[in-house]
Structures are given as structure tokens and as C-alpha cells.
A = this chain, B = another copy of it.
Amino acid sequence: MKDARPKYEVDLEPIGRRAEIAPGQTLLDATRSAGVDLEALCGGEGWCHSCVVRLVRGDLNSPSLAERDALTPEQLASGFRFACQAVPLGDVKVDIPPESLTAQQRLSIEGQEVLIRPEPAVTRLDLDVPVPTLHDLRSDASRLCDGISAAGFAAPDLPLAVLQDLSGQLRRQGWHAGLAIRGPRPEVGAHRGELVAVLAPRAELFGLAVDIGTTKLAAYLVNLADGHTVAKAGAMNPQIGYGEDVVSRIAYCFEHRDGRSVLQATVIESLNALAAQLCAEAGAKSEQVVDAVVVGNTAMHHLFAGLPIDQLGQAPYVAAVSDPLDLRARDLGLKLAPGAYVHLPANVAGFVGADHVAMAAATGAWETPRTIVALDIGTNTEVTLARGGHFWCCSCASGPAFEGAHIKDGMRAAPGAIERIAISDGKPYLKTIGDRPPVGICGSGILDAVSELFRAGIINRKGMLDEGAPGVGRTDGVLEFTLAPGPATGHGKPLVITRKDINEIQLAKAAIRTGVDILLYESRCSFEDIEEFTIAGAFGTYLDVSSSVRIGMFPPLPLDRFHQVGNAAGAGARQMLVSLARREAAARLARRAEYVELTVHPEFTHKYMKALYLD
């Protein structure tokens, strides 16, 4: 029996899902029914400003008072609305900015295909090789190369690892071969064309893209012919066992003679396991993985390649190598095709690594004429400013506060962590990861807390708590604001924000803002000139931009200039895997980037002191 009630169709872009709703239901209802998880801290009351969407086609009810309060007339004219307030009047299509999605949803969006023209380093040539006879006694290598030449291609170099299996492989396959050949593309790298693997004819070629984070590894298996990501997987970086952060791993290597090779071996082992898992998922053999791109910060890059990191731990903190490297996977112990290379994009400096270059390249900084800022927040926050084809980079010592370290009730972003906080009438509203009872506060929650405490007037611009304000009290003589009393938490202990916690956030946000400001100074422009402000990385995906702007961590730009792009380093790695042009673009970007050493910059102290204030 046909349902007679009218239904409106809601197309949700760029995710590509469709919902049906009844008249009178909101766009938030539509997203919920489609399984799209929008931020909606206030539960649809319109005051948390976090479910912003943009109407692309169709009609909605008129903006509510809450929307007219929060959004500018220009934004309203552009179609921006709160999903919880907007009611379709017929079929509509709306665009959901990534910043309106919950972090988990954003990370899945990040997995979307990067559609660029495939121009991989390695391509396949199917060939029938002449069989040896007593009248044709050419060596196996010669008959193969002659065959390649006869097919109209330049004969490639045959690396030892390929030669060692060539004779057996050709015979096992009855002299029919699918040859994976690297290059020749003299414009990229120093290497002539090389044979990477001898496979079965018509075997598909894959590449491995890896982002080695200090904490996490992300690996992607990509079909090189069409650029499609066929499998992806993550794992903890096992080097954590030797030091939580970069500095302690440098110390480990300094103190242990074999430290460097131990740390290298442990990450290579994990990557081999990840690669095997991805191959199994995709039904591919490891020999079909004929190319790889690996990005990471300079220390992760050096440890992956077995390069020394001692000098990264002592002033003036220089990298061993900054140019792009093409290393044989086999030399590193990576189990891919016998002749596969691993491309490591350039570093800019000891603390501006290939992951940042990959991120900047992925965001299009290398090709835009616009003025953009791109940053990746971590213990060190790398910032790039691109303006008119010039690039300035710096690294800010933002510390581990946003990872929950040095914060009284801080914790990593894990189930039960408070990730969103709003304060209304002095009362905190909390959202935890996994909607569990709160057990701690992760970086985005701490950021929100400081921002909301400031907005509510509970702390002043110096970060000092107002002892008379609601929720503020003392424990053991220390001033603190209670986010959740003991009975409301997962472990029965109250969760608080202390004066010291607030101070940690001030130090961190001041470091980041100072970096941005000094790059603006170097590029002779002001913050209003920034046309795009891109925030990459895990924490950058979770944080609330409004909160960040309110406490002065980011300059006070219109919110639509901010873009939270998730793991852009991984996306950049995948782009470089699929496209030699992207590798060259990243190399150019790194070569032309001017590294600005903040600690010796004449403006540093002045700007940093100013940035410690919350406004």
C-alpha cells in the first residue's frame, strides 16, 4: 500500500547520501535518518552554532532568531543555516561543511578518493619474451631487454633484486610477463627507467602510501592505474614503547648504541604487517606493490630511513637530509616488489617535516595564487603561509597540552573523553566521545572549556578564574572550575579545569598564534589577507574553530575561511603515490619554502607575550 503522506527528499553533499523526511522535520532530522552525524551540542536548541550547513537547491523556512543572531547577513545570503533550525519546504539539496560533522564522521570523509590524473611512477608492460634455444643464447636479461626495445620502449635498468629472480620467474610463467617498469621520467629523480617486478601478464599494480605519525601509523593501498584507494588501515606507532614523543625517542637513540636501528626495525615491522593486511584485503600479492610514498615529521622520516637523529636533539636542530629521497624498499626491509622504491618527500627543516610538505601540497598551497595558511597542530605545530607563489614555514613549540598532557584531568581522545563543552548560564554542557560518562578531558574539550569560561566571563583575558563565579571553587587551595561533579563522572571523581590547565592552553595557543603572526610579518601581510586557513591532522579535525578563534589561537577571520581537512598528510602521500607531478610540486614547494626560525626572530618575544592574552 502506497504511503500517502508527502515526503521531501534531502540530498546531503558532498557525502552523497539521501534522506526522506516528513514536512515540518528539520535538516538535523534528515541527517540523523541518513546516519550522518552532525555536531549538535545543544540538542537542537540553536545556541551551540555547530550544525552549520549550506542550502544548495530548494527552499527552507525563514532563518530563526538564533540563526540571525549568529550568522552574518552575507552568510545567510549565501545559504548558510543551522540544520537544527532549518525546515525544508520541499525537496532540497544541502552541503555539509566538514567542520559541522563529528570528528569520527570527518575522519571517514577524509578517506574519500583524491581524484587527480593518475601519472604513477610505475607502469606495466605485458610482453612475450623469446624462448632461449641453442641458436639464441642471449642471457635472460638481454632477451628481456631486447624484447622491451622491440616493443618500442627504452630498455630499463635491471636491479640486482629483480635479476636474482628473473630467470626463474620467466620460466615459471612460460616466458609471458607483466613487467612493472619505473620511469623513465628524467625530470623526476635521478634514476633511469628500472624494472621493478616481473609479474603475470595483466597483473594490477598497487602502491602503498604511509603517514608515520609520532603516535599513529596510517597506511593506504592504492590502485596505481586509477588512483582508487582499495584498502586502508591504521595502527599505533610501536616506537611509542621507546618514548612517547619525538624528544624522548631522540634521547633513547642518544643513550642506546643500537637505538636507531631498533626504532627503525620496529616501525618497519609494523608497516610490513600493515602492508600484508592491506594486500590480503585487496587480494593482492606483495610483489604487486610496486611503489610507495612515506611521509612523517623529520624525526619519523629519519628513523624510518635509518638516518641519525642525534643532531635533531641539539641546537641548531638540523636535519641529516632535506631533499626528497628515493630509497629501495628492500634496503629498508620493506617487503614490497623486489625493485620497488619508497619515495620520501622533502623536509623543510628539523621540525618542519615531509608530512607537513605533503599536507601543504595536498591542500593545493603549491598552485594557488591566493594567500593561505595551513597548519598541523601537535607537540610541534608546523605552519605554512603561501602567498603569490612564495612559501614561509615555521615550527611552533605548542607542547602536548592538546594531547591532554600536563592537564590535571587531561586524557587522549578516547571513549569517555570530554570533547565538546558549552557553558550557558554558568552551567557546563558536555559531549563525550562515544557518549559515555566522562572520565577526562581531551584537547578539543580543554580548548572549548577555556573559550567558554572566557566567553562566560568566568576567566579574564589573563586566564585568571573569578573566584566568585558559579562553578569556581578551591581544592587544596587551588582555584578550579568544576566541569562535572563526582557523581556525574565515569569514575566517581570530579572533573575540573585548574588555573594551571588554563595557563597550559594559553602557552600552547600563544605559540601557535605567534607562529602565524610571524609568518604574516615575514610575508608583509596582515591576517585579513588570509583567504583560506586550513587546519589538518587529528586534533585539527576535532577542535572547534569558533573556540580557537575566541581565545585568539587563530586570527579573527570569518568562519567560512577555515577548513578542517583531517589527515591531509596521508592524502598528500596518496596524491604523490599516484602522480609524479604532485611529487614534483611538493619538491618545488619544499625547495622554495623559506624556513623562519622563531626562537631567533626579533619579533618573537613581543608577539608571544601579547599572544598569551585570551583576546
A contact set with B: CB distance below 8 Å: 132-142, 157-158, 160, 163-168, 171, 190, 192, 305-308, 310-311, 315-323, 325, 327-328, 331, 347, 349-350, 595, 597, 599-600
Q: Are A310 and B132 in contact (CB under 8 A)?
A: no
Q: Are A132 and B308 in contact (CB under 8 A)?
A: no
Q: Which of B139, B310, B327, B350 contacts A322 (CB 8 A)?
A: B139
> Which residues of chain B are within 8 angstroms of A321 by Cβ–Cβ distance?
139-142, 158, 163
Tell me how far the C-beta of A206 lies from the nearest C-beta in chain B, rounded to whole angstroms. 24
Q: Are B318 and A138 in contact (CB under 8 A)?
A: yes
Q: Are A323 and B190 in contact (CB under 8 A)?
A: no
> Which residues of chain B are within 8 angstroms of A157 by Cβ–Cβ distance?
190
Tell me how far the C-beta of A593 lies from the nearest C-beta in chain B, rounded to whole angstroms. 12
Q: Are A325 and B160 in contact (CB under 8 A)?
A: yes
Q: In the complex, which of the residues A138, A160, A323, A328 has the most CB atoms of chain B within 10 Å of its own CB atom?
A: A160
Q: Which of B163, B164, B323, B349 contacts A137 (CB 8 A)?
A: B349
Tell me how far the C-beta of A308 lies from the nearest C-beta in chain B, rounded to whole angstroms. 5
Q: Which of B137, B141, B350 contacts A595 (CB 8 A)?
A: B137
Tell me how far the C-beta of A316 lies from the nearest C-beta in chain B, rounded to whole angstroms. 5
Q: Are A600 and B134 in contact (CB under 8 A)?
A: yes
Which residue of the partner chain B has the closest CB to A318?
A: B132
12 A/B residue pairs, CB under 8 Å, sorted by A: A134-B599, A137-B318, A138-B322, A139-B318, A139-B321, A140-B320, A158-B321, A160-B306, A160-B328, A163-B321, A164-B307, A167-B307
Tell me how far the C-beta of A599 lies from the nearest C-beta in chain B, rounded to whole angstroms. 7
Q: Are B132 and A163 in contact (CB under 8 A)?
A: no
Q: How far is the CA of A320 from the CA of B316 in the complex (A)?
A: 51
How many monomers of this protein are in the complex?
2
Which residue of the partner chain B has the closest CB to A264?
A: B164
Tell me how far the C-beta of A143 lies from the nearest C-beta in chain B, rounded to whole angstroms. 8
Q: How far is the CA of A326 from the CA of B597 in the complex (A)?
A: 43
Which residue of the partner chain B has the closest CB to A595?
A: B137
Which residue of the partner chain B has the closest CB to A165?
A: B308
Which residue of the partner chain B has the closest CB to A145?
A: B323
Tell me how far the C-beta of A283 lies from the nearest C-beta in chain B, rounded to whole angstroms. 27
> Which residues of chain B are within 8 angstroms of A349 by Cβ–Cβ distance?
137, 139
Q: Which of B142, B165, B307 contacts A323 (CB 8 A)?
A: B142
Q: How far is the CA of A318 from the CA of B140 in the complex (A)?
A: 7
Which residue of the partner chain B has the closest CB to A192?
A: B190
> Which residues of chain B are within 8 angstroms of A347 by Cβ–Cβ distance?
139
Q: Are B190 and A319 in contact (CB under 8 A)?
A: no
Known contacts A142-B322, A160-B325, A164-B307; 15 additional CB pairs below 8 A are: A132-B316, A134-B600, A137-B597, A138-B318, A138-B322, A140-B319, A140-B320, A141-B323, A142-B323, A157-B190, A163-B307, A164-B305, A167-B307, A168-B310, A190-B192
